[in-house]
Amino acid sequence: MIPDVHDGVRDEAFDATQALRATGLRVTSQRIAVLEALAGRPHAAVDELHAAVSEQIPGIALQTVHGIVNDLTDAGIAQRVSLPGAPSALYELGRNDNHHHLQCVVCGKVEDVPCVVGAAPCLHPSHDHGMRVLEASVTFRAICPECERNGNG
């Protein structure tokens, strides 16, 4: 079961072992640790996941975490989020809901925004060049309240 995440808070009913088994991935302690780290850190870069997992599994290689994230993405448990100006790709749990993102241009904080219309794809290009559109990705760039209060906006 993929957990529901709202405003950066995950559904506590999330079960990493069940999510792995549901997609046919072998259940390993490393995969469980990476998946649980991702569930608690929406929009995380691989190096952030590596740091979190290293607390539980000392000595785990960054490349191992990259491989696990790729496996989770291929299986649909996780999805890659590419945002303008982000130094690396971010990852979040796959929700299959075609949501969008709000990104602070000062500190880089990222929040989920529901799809503008609600059904994938929620936006349609003016000309599709004969292609079948699968999804639309929108990033709203903004300044978060903390950066605004600190005079960074």
**Where is the binding site for Zn(2+), in residues?**
104, 107, 144, 147
Tell me which residue of 22, 24, 26, 2 sits closest to 14, measured CA to CA. Answer: 2
> 146 φ, ψ to 5°?
-65, -45
Alpha-helix residue ranges (DSSP H) falling in the chain:
16-23, 29-40, 46-56, 62-74, 145-149
Residues making up the annotated binding site are 104, 107, 144, 147
